[in-house]
Structures are given as structure tokens and as C-alpha cells.
Amino acid sequence: MSLKVFINGKLLPQEEAKISVFDHGLLYGDGVFEGLRSHQGRVFKLTEHLERLHESARAIFLKVPMGTKDLKHAIFATLRANNMKDSYIRLVVTRGVGKLGLEPGKCSNPQVIIITDTIQLYPPKLYEKGIDILTVATVRNHPESINPRIKCLNYMNNILAKTEGINAGATEALMLNKDGFVAECTGQNIFLIKGNELYTPHGNSGILKGITRDTVIELAKAKGIKVREDFLTRYDLYIAEQCFLTGTAAQIIPVVKIDGRVVGDGKPGHTTLELLEEYRSLLTNPEVSEVEEELEAGYIRP
Ligand code: PXG
């Protein structure tokens, strides 16, 4: 059975789910997106993801043509159409069809696209063994150019870094910001642990403020671990006792080697594994994961 994709209120078989070649999402990477996950039918931090989508859109002068509640119902409708309870959800809003030439004012009908599928960034055994990461030459976008806090459709910065990392034999690439401080990996935030303290780059270090990042910060605080959002150097990483990456797709993945230096004893850290377990059990927790029945009625389904 072919996957159903939501485009502007219609659920279409994936072969028919198409948008125009004149859409500025394609022509210029002009649009925003979100990556979410559902577990046992519950969508993790749905409200937070939609808030970030609206903030990204606001920053690029894009009006999302659907409100939060309608977007929520559309996501659940897509999951239902695909009979999916555990999935990776890609929500995309493009600028819409326009003329050749950048001017967004000449575009009409932003396209709202929802794909529910699966994603596996790393093989499961790497969650037990840990991964190696490497600092690459491509610097994270300057915040006064394209602020990395905007989750926009132009991911060339990240794609270049990822390719450089892979070409050099690393599993994941680490990007520094324009001042040489640690920013993030290509689709994951980074954390380190030293003593009873958890460190992660400051929100204005040139990072996407990840929703998994926020979740891990909350989990750590609840465990009595002191959390510091700071400007970090590669040296801070080299002397860390534990290190891990976070993201909706990656979840929490331990890092055991950074630029050729072994982290701690070369095995995934104890606290890292505890946080991973706690994070996984949160995914189906009704306090943070939404299900459609809990939304009020009143939406006409596509
Ligand atoms: N940094 C960047 C640059 C990201 O794109 C994260 C951090 C983690 O954020 P969350 O909110 O997920 O904890 C991301 C997340 C995909 C895909 O193919 C999306 C991301 C990463 C990797 C793949 O949809 N975005």
C-alpha cells in the first residue's frame, strides 16, 4: 500500500503528492519545516514543535496558512491514513508558487506538506557503542545571516558539513560557530558531562534550539544535575567525561571519540545511558505527548 501524504488539506498517494517546480521552496529553499515523532499514536511535544514552526515562519515573513489546531488534526489524520503509530513526521511549509526571481511577495499559496514515515539516522548498535564525531571546516551559518534557530528549508550549511565529516571517515560532523565556539552537529545538539555538571552550547551559539535539547535539560535538572548553557570550546569537549548528541531523529546518541580523542573510558557514559532511558520513557507520557482524542472536536477532516 502506498504511503499517503498530506498536501494542503488532501491526503494523496505518494506517487501523486507533488508540488510545482515554480514553488520557491524548491527554487530557493524558501520555507520552513519540522521533524516530529509519534510513539504509540502520541506525538511527542507537538505543541512545542508547532510553536517553533510558527516562530521560524515569522522570522522569514511567511504566514503559515493553517492554525495550530488544524495542523495538529492534519498530523493525526495523516498518521491515521497510514495506519502509523510509531513514525517520523516531516511537516513542511513552502513559500508557494511564484515567478522566477526571489521576491516572496509574488508567491501565492504556501504549501503545507505532512509526510509520516520512518527514519533511522544511525544503526541501533551505535547507541550501545557510541559514535565518533569530527570538527569540519564548514562554519555554522552566521546568526546575522541565516540564524540557525530558524528551521528553514535551506540546509546546505548542514549538508556540506555532513559530507565533509563522512568523507573524512567520521560518523557525524561537528560545526563551530563564526567565533570558533562549539555550535552543533548537522542535525543534533551536543552535550558534555564533567563532574556533576551538564554543559551544552548557549542558545545564541549558532544552534537550532532543539526540543530534545530542552527535554534533556529538564531531565537532567530533575536528576539534580547542574545544567550550564555556555559558550564552549573544542577543548571543553576534549576533557569531558561523557558526551552525547540529541535530536528528534537521533534521540540521544553517545559520543565516544571527538577529533580522534577518546571520551572518558571510550564507552557510552553512565549518565548518558540513564538520560536515554528516561527520554525514551517520556515519549509515551501523556503529559508531554499528545493524542488526537484529547484535542477538542470541531475540525473538518481532509
Ligand atoms: N540541530 C539541527 C540543525 C537540526 O536540524 C536538531 C538540532 C535537533 O532538534 P530537535 O528539535 O529535533 O531536538 C535538528 C533537528 C530530518 C532531520 O531529516 C531533521 C533534523 C535533524 C536531522 C534530520 O527531518 N532536525
Ligand 1 binding pocket, CB closer than 6 Å: 35, 90, 158, 184, 187-189, 208, 210-213, 246-249
**What is the Cα–Cα distance from 59 to 158, expressed in whole angstroms?**
19
pLDDT of residue 302: 39
Question: Using 50, 70 and 90 to split pLDDT, how confident is the model at 295?
Answer: confident
Q: Mind listing the pLDDT tens digit for each residue in 234-273?
A: 999 999 999 999 999 999 999 999 999 999 999 999 999 9
pLDDT band at 121 (very low <50, low <70, confident <90, very high): confident
The pLDDT, as a whole number, for residue 296 is 60
Per the DSSP assignment, residues forming a β-bridge with 243 are 192
3-state helix, strand, coil in the chain (%, to 5): 30, 30, 40
Question: What domains are defined for the chain?
Answer: 4-119 (3.30.470.10), 124-282 (3.20.10.10)
Q: What is the pLDDT of residue 120?
A: 87
Contact of 56 with 150, CB cutoff 8 Å? yes
> Quick one: pLDDT at residue 300?
35
pLDDT digits (tens, 9 = 90+) for 132-173: 999 999 999 999 999 999 999 999 999 999 999 999 999 999
List the strands of the sheet with 31-39, edge to edge.
10-13, 4-7, 112-117, 87-94, 31-39, 42-44, 289-290
Active site residue 151: yes
d(CA 29, CA 242): 36
Residue 100 exposure: Cα atoms within 13 Å on the Cβ side:
0
C-alpha–C-alpha distance, residues 87 and 96, integer Å:
26
Which is the catalytic residue, given 45, 72, 151, 162? 151
Instruction: Give pLDDT, residue 240.
Output: 98
Residue whose CB lies within 8 A of the most ligand 1 atoms, among 93, 171, 189, 191, for a mutation test? 189
Ligand 1 pocket test target in 49, 188, 205, 207 with most atoms within 8 Å of CB: 188
Question: In ligand 1, which atom is closest to the CA atom of 148?
Answer: 3
Q: How far is the CA of 99 from the centre of ligand 1 (A)?
A: 30
Q: What mean pLDDT comes out for the span 13-32?
A: 97
Q: Can you tell me the distance from the alpha carbon of 237 to that of 261, in angstroms, rounded to the nearest whole number? A: 9
Which residue from 69, 17, 30 is spatially nearest to 290, judged by alpha carbons? Answer: 69
DSSP letter at 263? P
